[in-house]
Structure 1
Amino acid sequence: MLETGNTTVMQGFNKSERCPRDTRMTHLVFPALYTALFLAGIALNTLALWVFTHIPSNSTFIIYLKNTLVADLILTLMLPFKILSDSHLGPWQLRGFVCKFSSVVLYQTMYVGIMMLGFIAFDRFLKIIRPFRKIFAKRTAFAKTVSTVIWLLMFFISLPNMILNKKATPSSVKKCASLKSPLGLLWHQVVSHTCQVIFWTVFVLMVVFYVVITKKVYDSYKKCKSKDGKHKRLEVKVFIVIAVFFVCFAPYHFVKVPYTYSQTSNKTDCRLENQLFVAKETTLFLATTNICMDPLIYIILCKKFTERVPCMRGRTRSTATSEEHHSSQTDNITLG
């Protein structure tokens, strides 16, 4: 069985060398888009970093947000390597570095961010179903432990993707799959499926959390019976996490499975493989826009964050005054 599996992977590896990649779109369009994304991401996340350095880590919510920020910053710093590599502005050795290291780190931090968003949703869920009860999952020690485990998990499953590669050459760096050893291709497939499991598990749990939250919010709004137009805005606040999660990450994960299969199998023709490559790159760009979407979560859900942003201090105070009549239960859902 192992021999058969290695033969299949080797065939996929050989195919990756025979099927040249059509990079016309990724050579011109995506580098420009990623450059704009990088500039916006570095500005937003640098500001967020400055703000969070002034906010103590005294709640699980803040800890999850800070870990999300770290993941976004690392991902942002990997983008220049991708931009230079995809636009062919750097030497071929840079492409080898991207295949072996920076793209691996990019994916690693993306999944750290996905799991952190899941725990942010979990934190909001606990605040509405157990607003006053002290449980272990609401302690900062729990959030710090979970965050450490997530970083270590993603590091150890990503490390073999940095190691199980052949020596880079000008021809082999044209496609990252050509750099991987047979075992490296097999491990890449395993990691891809593992990340799919991570994503869909987090997604299903988030749907469950927000079904409960929706019911609680709706019940709270019915009791409030206010006609001042504030209810609709609060409802949007509740759903910002799952909206960002779905818009950024779902398309990529729909495309990722067939794309990975095309890289490790000899049954996909070159035309379809190139189409899947373009689809993967398109949805990957959408996924990386998360680095600009997460700051919206900080602003909308974290009152401590907006209080520290100079241009939003006045707005935060006026908003807090106008919403004093809302129930404390609703505040627990929408604010950090």
Structure 2
Amino acid sequence: MDLMNKTITLRSFNCTLDTSYRFSYYQISYSLIFSFGLASNLMALRRLWLIPRNLTSTAVYMANLAVVDLFFIVSLPLRIYYYYNRSHNSTWSPGRTFCQLTFALKYISLYGSIFFLACIGVDRYVAVVHPLQQQLRRVRTAHMLSSGIWFLVLALGLFLPFLLSAASMSHQPCLLDPSSQRHRTFILVTLGVVQMVFLLPALLLLFSYCSILRVLCRLAHRRKVRHRRTLTVIYWVLGIFLLCFAPYHINLLGYTLTHTGVWPICSLAKVTTALHPVVLSLASTNCCLNPLIYYFSSSLVHKEAAGNRGSGSQ
């Protein structure tokens, strides 16, 4: 939900906001994210491909995570070109298809990452808290769950841009018009959907983390060391949630409610508008940080793959 004019006047409570700096900021930040994200995800996919053919559920989720990141990365040149034209007052105006495509790729990447990161956390939870229920960690189960997530994410990737398109200006399809009561309803429905889609995996991940810590606190020191890699994975997943996704969704709440006039507080509108480019870039940075989860836990993935190959359990 990005209001793209250089100055925004919130007519419902007479508040004018300067947003001209966004265009240059997005060009720089997205260029850096594109460079690092493309290189790191291609390297992660290459290393995951070299894992023994007897995959693990963790490797399946990580591979899907890298693929979903690439969806967003390939959209960044389009976004950079768009912001470049906006910053130079170009007369070029993107069509509705362009806007829907970039929105769709953004949501596929953002919420695909959230779901697959939650899967990695729950996978570690089952491995530590319910080690005897390994049927939940079978590769076939991971593939089925990943397919379901892709179906959900692709549905969101089509549904949310459709809502935003319905709330856009007819002559500028990439710009939203929150002043209209009808458009405000579309925008608030979209806000409710994205907040729910973030909160449910976040709560599931927090439950998994607390359960793992509770179990590990009861173990002897020698057995705790065996699960050190699991804690590394959980810490990285939680770190990405707290750094990338939580600030974006918290700020998005105030940003949207002030711009639609639900909270007519000019000072809050100014703060959330100033923070919006920063937290949106942080949310996008997850495609650069996600591969680090694999790099810092690759020994765990290879160890489990070797164990599964030796036992023939999968």
- Which of 263, 275, 280 does residue 279 from structure 1 map onto? 275
User: Is 1:176 the equivalent of 2:175?
Assistant: yes
**CA distance in structure 1 between the partners assigned to 2:212 and 2:258 by the alignment:** 40
Select between 237-246 and 118-127 the one with higher mean Cα deviation: 237-246
User: Any unmatched runs of 5+ in structure 1?
Assistant: 1-13, 308-319, 321-327, 329-336
- Show CA shifts across 1:14-73 (max 9, x none): 959x97763322122232122112111111111122223334473221221111111111
**CA distance in structure 1 between the partners assigned to 2:75 and 2:57 by the alignment:** 28
* Counterpart residue number, 2:295: 299
Which letter does structure 2 place at the counterpart of 1:116? F
* Counterpart residue number, 1:156: 155
Q: Which has the higher helix share?
A: 1
- Normalised by the length of structure 2, the TM-score is 0.77
Select between 160-169 and 286-295 the one with higher mean Cα deviation: 160-169
Which letter does structure 1 place at the counterpart of 2:104? V
* Counterpart residue number, 1:261: 257
- Percent identical pairs in the alignment equals 24
**CA distance in structure 2 between the partners assigned to 1:84 and 1:57 by the alignment:** 42
Aligned to 1:93, the other structure's residue is in SS state: coil
User: Is 1:73 the equivalent of 2:76?
Assistant: no
- Show CA shifts across 1:64-94 (max 9, x none): 1111111111111122222222232675333
**CA distance in structure 2 between the partners assigned to 1:225 and 1:86 by the alignment:** 50
Summarize the Cα distance change of 1:134–1:232 in structure 2 as closer, same or farther, 3 Å threshold. closer
* Counterpart residue number, 2:59: 62
Q: Once the 2 structures are TM-superposed, how far is the Cα of residue 274 of structure 1 from its aligned partner?
A: 4.8
**CA distance in structure 1 between the partners assigned to 2:123 and 2:252 by the alignment:** 29
**CA distance in structure 1 between the partners assigned to 2:206 and 2:185 by the alignment:** 32
Summarize the Cα distance change of 1:146–1:237 in structure 2 as closer, same or farther, 3 Å threshold. closer
Which letter does structure 2 place at the counterpart of 1:222? H
Summarize the Cα distance change of 1:101–1:272 in structure 2 as closer, same or farther, 3 Å threshold. farther
| Aligned pairs (5 A) from 1:235-246 | 235-246=231-242
* Alignment check: 8 A CA contact 2:232 2:297 kept: no
* Alignment check: 8 A CA contact 1:38 1:79 kept: yes
The number of aligned residues is: 288
Select between 246-255 and 268-277 the one with higher mean Cα deviation: 268-277
* Counterpart residue number, 2:21: 25
- Show CA shifts across 1:231-285 (max 9, x none): 9888545422212221211111111112222343366366754542332221111
**CA distance in structure 2 between the partners assigned to 1:146 and 1:234 by the alignment:** 21
Which letter does structure 2 place at the counterpart of 1:193? G
Greater Cα radius of gyration, structure 1 or 2: 1
Q: Once the 2 structures are TM-superposed, how far is the Cα of residue 189 of structure 1 from its aligned partner?
A: 2.3
* Counterpart residue number, 1:110: 110
* Alignment check: 8 A CA contact 1:125 1:209 kept: yes
Summarize the Cα distance change of 1:160–1:51 in structure 2 as closer, same or farther, 3 Å threshold. same
- Normalised by the length of structure 1, the TM-score is 0.72
* Alignment check: 8 A CA contact 1:65 1:116 kept: yes
Aligned to 2:134, the other structure's residue is in SS state: coil
* Alignment check: 8 A CA contact 1:237 1:300 kept: yes
Q: CA RMSD in A?
A: 3.5
User: Any unmatched runs of 5+ in structure 2?
Assistant: 1-9, 308-314
Summarize the Cα distance change of 1:223–1:104 in structure 2 as closer, same or farther, 3 Å threshold. same
| Aligned pairs (5 A) from 1:1-336 | 15=11, 22-55=18-51, 56=53, 58-87=55-84, 88=86, 92-94=92-94, 99-135=99-135, 137-163=136-162, 164-165=165-166, 168-169=170-171, 172-173=172-173, 176-178=175-177, 185-220=184-219, 222-223=221-222, 235-265=231-261, 268=264, 272-303=268-299
